[in-house]
Amino acid sequence: MTYRHFFHSAVLLFTVLMIACTSPQKQEGTLENVKVFVPGQEKEIRAALIGIENNTEIILKEGVYNFDKISIQGPVNKVIFRGEDPQKTIVDFSGQSSGGEGLRVDDVTDFEIRDIQLRESNGDLLKVKDSKDVRFINVHTVWSGEPDVENGGYGIYPVLCENVLIDSCYVRGASDAGVYVGQTTKAVIKNSHAEYCVAGIEVENTIDAEVFNNEANNNTGGILVFDHPGLKNDGQNIRVYNNHVHDNNYRNFAPAANSATGVGNVPPGTGIMVLRTSNVQVYDNEIHNNNTMAVGVISYLVLDPGILKNNPDFNPIPYNITLRNNKITKSDDFPPTVEGHELAQTIVALHQNLLAAGALQPGQGIPHILYDGIALAAGENPNNLCIDESDEVTFIELDAANDYANIHFDKSRYACKTL
Amino acid sequence: MRVVCFFIVVVTLWGCTAKPGKEQPFTFHDRLSQYGFFEGNMAALKPVSNVIPYELNTPLFTDYAYKARFIKVPEGKFLTSKNGELFYPEGTILIKNFFYYQDEGQVGKGRYIIETRLLMKYTNQWKVATYIWDDDQKEAHREILGATKHVKWVNRHGKSLETDYVIPDNNDCKSCHKKNGKISPIGPKIANLNKMISTGKEDINQLNYLFSRGIIKGLEPTDQLPQMAVWNDSVTYTLDQRARAYLDVNCAHCHNAVGPANNTGLFLEYEQQDLFKLGICKGPVSAAQGSGNLKYDIVPGNAEASILHYRMNSNSPGIAMPELGRTLIHKEGVALIEAWIAGLEGKGCD
């Protein structure tokens, strides 16, 4: 062997060892501990998640990964879990045999998941609980195929979190809510797309949320702002703006199709629905072709008439709701999916009565904004509803508390006092 | 040149090893036998003198597995109790062995130990480890990733049963054993330990026995301490006491205000007095398909209409409760809750 050969071998060996040494490749990650995996290393990934330490970045290279379920259990600081692209890195939970969700994350401060697709779990796909500074970026959660009652409940599901960002995500096929932010303080949901879910995007018992630049279509209901009794937060300060909410007429395929309190109640043909929550502003949205309840402002009593008996401390009324400058159009015909849905059928029957009574002209559909009009206090506008919409936007107050006795269509009674 | 090459290899490999200066982290032994908990044939689970067995009034259901429980407290240290809660000294180890008799009617035919779970208190934090037993029952090896094990046995009614028993991974352990974000023991509460046992020589209250062994100190008189019902002892305890004990042990480790299911608003502790929190006429929050088209967690007088009963009576993931720790339906437990709901006052919710 010549000197040159020796030199070459030495350089080659050195290079090989350097690669071995720095693999997982340092340059790929941004955190102190970077772990890179390829399909087939599912066991190693589970071990890495179980032994996770502060400042860890888990990178899943292109390909399909199969898991029963996986989880990250804190307390731990700074974790990034990411793929290469939602179309390239796919985590499949079709084999889920136990547990409540595909990927569960508990008690992480500064958690980011990005550029990845999760799909086909029996339970929820991605639940993040008791965590702070949580970011979902370019994450897809998908149940493919015909939307089905057997699909899991929630796609992207942060609950009891603080400071959540959901940006550029895509959700499909959830039998409850595609994006569901629950009992959280401070949340931003933007640039995301929800389709073929029962609820496209839902914000529940959450304080300080902004929902903007999203598209929700072909769900049962596009965007929901809900509040349940007996939970950590009373939902408040929610702004829903610049969203495109259209064609949400899909059948309600929630498992509890007529449950007391869940999204099973949402009538097929719902655009934006505000249930019970306080200080909600819905403005500058494009709301088209949601053909049962384009916009609804609804009391919890509609869902659970016994709630005050069972939970006397709960105030079921939506309060301080503002509807402003939304563009709303819809068909005069109900979607065929209202068939068999209890609350939707109530609206259909009401519509027929209004036609029969001559309150609506033949062929005229149910108005755009539905307000149940239920109030616990007396006075002209005790719930402080404020409507500042163009003349094209129609309105109906149902007087649901009094068996629909005093229905009217005059939204000027709720004209905003100040802007 | 060979020397240079060797030098490069050494230097480069040296760069690969762990950074110096880091504290040696806590580690469990790889093999169960290394702890020396048991003397003689390990599978006989005969504890050495400082490893003390204990029992519970009402245990968690784990696919009909039997459990042999032990506690080891470091020499000179002891547990203390306050308001029904136990406080453990540093170094305490809780040891729980899961096994099946081949035939519950004839236990002499032998048994098979599947796994041993340890909870160890170290630097004021509880650490978890699971050891899976070899088929020859001579040794158990630590496994963080969990496993499934096919098990078959004959129950006390002579019926053959089998399942794919799930040995939890380490994160599964944490997802149940969390309280206020910290890992904590579930079973050994004062109320659940407050029971008569037989030591072989005498019948004695277990807490007094643990006191006599120096394991607990500063104990109030046992008749002043809370006592949890035995879930299947209908002679001594009322239906309500038994059902509430069952729900406490099987559900409330998650379903309490500081537990993993605190997002549900459904809190099932033995002490819970708020009927709405207990699920009476409470609508589900995020049950999704777990709600089974039912309106309320518990409808007094109607178990079939109650989500609680529906989820206990299922073994599909996404529906079954508890979410972890069982693949089979606990028929006797379901029957207890069924009877309890049927007897609740105030029929219906609407």
Tokens of A282: 């819905």
Residue B136 forms part of a structural domain: yes
**Confidence label for A29 from pLDDT (cuts 50, 70 and 90):** confident
pLDDT tens column, A167-206? 999 999 999 999 999 999 999 999 999 999 999 999 999 9
pLDDT tens column, B338-348? 999 999 988 78
Question: Which A residues 276-305 touch B at CB under 8 Å?
Answer: 303-305
pLDDT tens column, A365-405? 999 999 999 998 888 899 999 999 999 999 999 998 888 88
From CA A45, how far away is CA B169, in angstroms rounded? 13
When CB atoms are compared, the residue of A106, A150, A182 closest to B175 is A106
Residue B144 forms part of a structural domain: yes
Instruction: Return the residue of A nearest to B173 by Cα.
Output: A73
Q: Is B287 on the interface with A (CB under 8 A)?
A: yes
Q: Which residues of B touch A254 (CB under 8 A)?
A: 288
Q: Is A137 on the interface with B (CB under 8 A)?
A: no
Q: Tell me the pTM.
A: 0.88
Q: Which residues of B touch A341 (CB under 8 A)?
A: none
Tokens of B305: 């209409």
Say if residue B332 is in the same domain as residue B188: no
Q: Is the pLDDT of residue B350 over 90?
A: no
Q: Is the pLDDT of residue B63 over 90?
A: yes
pLDDT tens column, A312-332? 888 999 999 999 999 999 999
**Confidence label for A256 from pLDDT (cuts 50, 70 and 90):** low
3-class secondary structure, B174 = helix
Q: Structurally, how many domains does chain B consist of?
A: 2
Instruction: Return the residue of A nearest to B17 by Cα.
Output: A21
Say if residue B34 is in the same domain as residue B173: yes
Say if residue B131 is in the same domain as residue B280: no
Say if residue B59 is in the same domain as residue B91: yes
CATH of A13-414, one of 1.10.4160, 2.160.20, 2.30.230, 1.20.120: 2.160.20
Choice among A199-203, A252-256, B325-329 with the minimum mean pLDDT = A252-256
When CB atoms are compared, the residue of A17, A73, A153 closest to B12 is A17
pLDDT tens column, B213-268? 999 998 888 888 899 999 999 999 999 999 999 999 999 999 999 888 888 999 99
For helices B239-250 and B331-343, what crossing angle results, to 10°? Answer: 130
Task: Among A98, A103, A104, A132, pick the best mutation site for testing chain B contact (most B Cβ within 10 A).
Answer: A98
**pLDDT, position B319:** 87
Pairing of strands A63-66, A124-129: unpaired
Domain stops at, among B228, B248, B266 = B228
Average pLDDT, chain A: 91
Q: Is A57 on the interface with B (CB under 8 A)?
A: no
Q: Residue B139: which residues within 8 A CB-CB, separation 6 or more? A: B31, B32, B33, B42, B133
**pLDDT, position A364:** 96
**Confidence label for A158 from pLDDT (cuts 50, 70 and 90):** very high
Q: Are B94 and B185 in contact (CB under 8 A)?
A: yes
With CB atoms and an 8 Å threshold, state whether B276 touches A311.
yes
**Confidence label for A20 from pLDDT (cuts 50, 70 and 90):** very low
Question: Which B residues 234-273 touch A at CB under 8 Å?
Answer: 260, 262-263, 265
Task: State the DSSP string of A189-251.
Answer: EES-EEESSSEEEEEES-EEEEEES-EEESSSEEEEEE--TTSS---EEEEEES-EEE-----
Pairing of strands B51-54, B66-72: antiparallel
**pLDDT, position B223:** 85
Domain stops at, among B228, B250, B278 = B228
**pLDDT, position B12:** 42
Task: State the DSSP string of B276-336.
Answer: TTTTBTPPPSS-GGGGTT-SBSB-TT-GGGBHHHHHHT--STTT-SSSSS-SS--HHHHHH
pLDDT tens column, B2-60? 444 444 444 444 444 444 444 556 789 999 999 999 999 999 999 999 999 999 999 99
**pLDDT, position A3:** 54
**pLDDT, position A27:** 58
| Per-position b or e across A183-213, b if 16+ CB within 10 A of its CB | bbbbbbbbebbbbbbbbbbbbbbbbbbbbbe
A20/B163: higher pLDDT: B163
Instruction: Return the residue of A nearest to B125 by Cα.
Output: A75
Q: Is the pLDDT of residue A18 over 60?
A: no
Percent of chain A with pLDDT over 70: 92
Average pLDDT, chain B: 89
* A386 strand-pairing partners: A322
Q: Which residues of A touch B280 (CB under 8 A)?
A: 310
Size of interface A-B (CB pairs under 8 A): 178
Q: Is B137 on the interface with A (CB under 8 A)?
A: no
Distance of CA A166 to the CA centre of its chain: 10
Residue B5 forms part of a structural domain: no
Domain stops at, among B189, B211, B228 = B228
Say if residue B185 is in the same domain as residue B152: yes
The residue ranges of every structural domain in chain A are: 13-414
Q: Which residues of A touch B296 (CB under 8 A)?
A: 260
Q: Is A201 on the interface with B (CB under 8 A)?
A: no
Percent of chain B with pLDDT over 90: 69
With CB atoms and an 8 Å threshold, state whether B317 touches A122.
yes
A26/B31: higher pLDDT: B31
Q: Residue B248: which residues within 8 A CB-CB, separation 6 or more? A: B58, B228, B268, B269, B270
Q: Are A287 and A294 in contact (CB under 8 A)?
A: yes
Q: Is A340 on the interface with B (CB under 8 A)?
A: no
**pLDDT, position A117:** 98
Percent of chain A with pLDDT over 90: 77
Say if residue B201 is in the same domain as residue B234: no
Q: Which domain holds residue B37?
A: 27-228
Q: Are B206 and B222 in contact (CB under 8 A)?
A: no
Q: Which amino acid is at A147?
A: P
Say if residue B130 is in the same domain as residue B183: yes
Say if residue B103 is in the same domain as residue B248: no
Say if residue B245 is in the same domain as residue B217: no
* Arithmetic mean of pLDDT, B117-125: 94
Say if residue B77 is in the same domain as residue B214: yes
Task: Among A259, A303, A313, A314, pick the best mutation site for testing chain B contact (most B Cβ within 10 A).
Answer: A259
Say if residue B144 is in the same domain as residue B179: yes
Say if residue B221 is in the same domain as residue B237: no
Residue B8 forms part of a structural domain: no
